[in-house]
Structure 1
Amino acid sequence: MNLFSRGQKGKLADLGCGSAFIVELDIAAPGMSVDVSCFGLDAADKLSDERYMVFYNQLATPEGAVRLELSGALARFAVNLDALPATIAKLVFVAAIDGAQTMRALGACALNLGNAVRFPWSGADFGDEKAVIVAELYRRDGSWRFGAVGQGFNGGLSALLAHFGGTEAAPAAPAAAPAAPAPAPGPKVSLSKVTLEKRGDKVSLDKRAGGGFGRIHVNLNWNQSATAAPPQQPAKTGFFDKLMGGMGGMGGGARKGRGGIDLDLGCMYELADGRRGLVQALGNAWGDFEREPYIRLDADDRTGAAAGGENLYINGERFDQIRRALIFSFIYEGVPNWSATDGVVTIAAPGQAPIEVRLDGGGNQIMCAIALIENRNGSLQVTKLAEYFQQQGGTSAHELMDRHFGFGMRWKTGTKG
């Protein structure tokens, strides 16, 4: 692999890189929210087509030439240069801090271009900038080239969008009768994202014009390579350890010897008629999207190969049948150390700004109640919980969480009744 420094450039052909590869950004940002994006620019270095900005609110270009996959501290762009239209002359990869911190707070970071190039950089290279233009791929003289940029930028993602000639979409406002025909709108990009910062913060989603909320996607992502903190007390024993030790027969062999922390996503639910239950990989309780409980957990990856985290889907067209859903996570493998996970849950509904909840508290507990999704007279309300639970004697963290939030399920060793 070629090691590049700031300002270094080279032809992809000379670097042994083809037209299809992965651009991976590994950003060390403990306790911070960093938005990674790719701008597809025209020959004038402008974002003339807003569909070619790939970021958290738009994960792919129209033809799929650039696709983004977010995984904790990692952002992976699958790039196929041959599939890009001729109007796109440059791909610019950027990172912007969302919040009060600046780039100097970042640790050691790197951009990898397939197996061809590694470009290391760190927060020590910057001052009070809120963003960095990391690198670019560009056409010149009929061939594609790579440039390691590493240029700080004073504004955040919104300022970068303006720098590249894009226009940010204004928040939706009540419609008013127009006095005259309005000119055709130019390209606009919605940078809307709702971050629930503190425990108890809430946000509500509106139904779509045709009713319902569509397919609601709940994604849990974390730094899968994080090293767990050394244990501060003797190893745990009791019911939960026995339950976890038996997971090899309930959904595949456990991941052993990976040296990192592995999280599992789950959901406690209460239906409109009062029935309650659990959706999680433990016990193969996957749920169902089309039928009750209208909540489905995607197949859990026990190999560690998947980079897309854990995913759960709620049927928003049948949300009238759901009273509440408690989204939780537990540490499936590794010594409990929530501060090392950089965990984040994103709740996304079609046509609405994604809601972000970060797992930014806790200590050595095994379980985290992340967010509560409730049906409030037909509206969908999301509340940040950030409540952490630890097994107490023979009482599992699952049961303690159940008691705390009043679901009232009956528990016994190894099963739920």
Structure 2
Amino acid sequence: MTISLAKGQRIDLTKTNPGLQKAIIGLGWDTNKYTGGDDFDLDASAFLLHENGKANGIEDFVFYNNLTAYSGALVHTGDNRDGQGEGDDEQIKIDFTKIPGAIQRIGITVTIHDAQSRNQNFGQVSNAFVRLVDEQTGSEILRYDLGEDFSVETAVVVCELYRHGEDWKFQAVGAGFSGGLAALAQNYGLDAK
């Protein structure tokens, strides 16, 4: 049975699902009817964060140009450039058994590619969600629908997974940023230039 989360809620992942070793983070969205002329290209990314809350370098950043980290601990399944169709638009696979002990938190984000030049923002995006699926059983464990809380933002921290002792927890974040991927990268300790 899927658990639906609200913004700010936290849930145990591995403690309440003891067999969970591999998960799929599925992210999806629709774009509102928009006559700006350019297609929307939304991109999912993951930032692997150390105890100081920062990524140390490109090896801690999984996105469309760096699809894997730590020998398959995280794997981005590829860039969906139009978001068409039902279900997940992009996915990031996580193998909890391969995540190095130094990684304390994983930030899952979505950005709008070239948002500024295309005059696009998350106010033009609807039905955005994140869901976590047990890769081995195919069962959906949780889902967080982001709602319509955004206007001018071009990047969103959707959720974070974090260590709690030996276990992993999930937090529904839903925090918007202006400045796109560069602003997120800077927030997580990377220089996006």
Q: TM-score range by the shorter chain?
A: 0.7 to 0.9
Query: Hey, what's the Cα distance between the residues in 2 that align with 1:144 and 1:14?
Result: 7
Query: Matches of residues 332-371 of structure 1 in structure 2 within 5 Å?
Result: none
Q: Give the C-alpha shift of residue 16 in structure 1.
A: 2.6
What TM-score do you get using the length of structure 2 for normalisation?
Answer: 0.82
Aligned to 2:154: 130
Query: Matches of residues 189-204 of structure 1 in structure 2 within 5 Å?
Result: none
Query: Hey, what's the Cα distance between the residues in 2 that align with 1:168 and 1:127?
Result: 24
Q: 1:112 aligns with which of 116, 131, 134?
A: 131
Q: Is 1:61 matched up with 2:80?
A: no
Q: Is 1:75 matched up with 2:90?
A: yes
Aligned to 1:22: 24
Aligned to 1:166: 190
Per the alignment, do residues 34 and 50 of structure 1 end up closer, same or farther by CA in structure 2, a change over 3 Å counting? same
Query: Hey, what's the Cα distance between the residues in 2 that align with 1:136 and 1:62?
Result: 18
- C-alpha RMSD of the superposition: 1.6
Return the letter of the residue paired with 1:42: H
Per the alignment, do residues 68 and 141 of structure 1 end up closer, same or farther by CA in structure 2, a change over 3 Å counting? same
Query: Matches of residues 168-247 of structure 1 in structure 2 within 5 Å?
Result: 168-169=192-193
Query: Hey, what's the Cα distance between the residues in 1 that align with 2:70 and 2:132?
Result: 22
Residue aligned with 1:104, SS: helix
Aligned to 2:146: 121
What TM-score do you get using the length of structure 1 for normalisation?
Answer: 0.39
In the comparison of the two structures, how many residue pairs are matched?
168
Q: Give the C-alpha shift of residue 15 in structure 1.
A: 4.3
Residue aligned with 1:160, SS: helix
Deviation string for 1:272-306 (max 9, x for gaps)? xxxxxxxxxxxxxxxxxxxxxxxxxxxxxxxxxxx
Structure 2: segments with no counterpart, 5+ residues: 33-38, 84-88, 134-139
- On the 8 A contact 1:4/1:148 being kept in 2, the answer is yes
- On the 8 A contact 2:70/2:100 being kept in 1, the answer is no
Aligned to 1:2: 3
Q: Give the C-alpha shift of residue 13 in structure 1.
A: 3.0
Largest Rg, 1 or 2: 1
Q: Give the C-alpha shift of residue 14 in structure 1.
A: 4.7
Query: Hey, what's the Cα distance between the residues in 2 that align with 1:105 and 1:96?
Result: 13
Q: Give the C-alpha shift of residue 49 in structure 1.
A: 3.2
Runs of 4+ in 1 over 3 A off after TM superposition: none
Query: Matches of residues 227-376 of structure 1 in structure 2 within 5 Å?
Result: none
Query: Hey, what's the Cα distance between the residues in 2 that align with 1:19 and 1:146?
Result: 14
- On the 8 A contact 2:128/2:145 being kept in 1, the answer is yes
Higher relative contact order (CA 8 A, sep 6+): 2
Aligned to 2:136: none
Q: 1:101 aligns with which of 120, 145, 148?
A: 120
Structure 1: segments with no counterpart, 5+ residues: 170-417
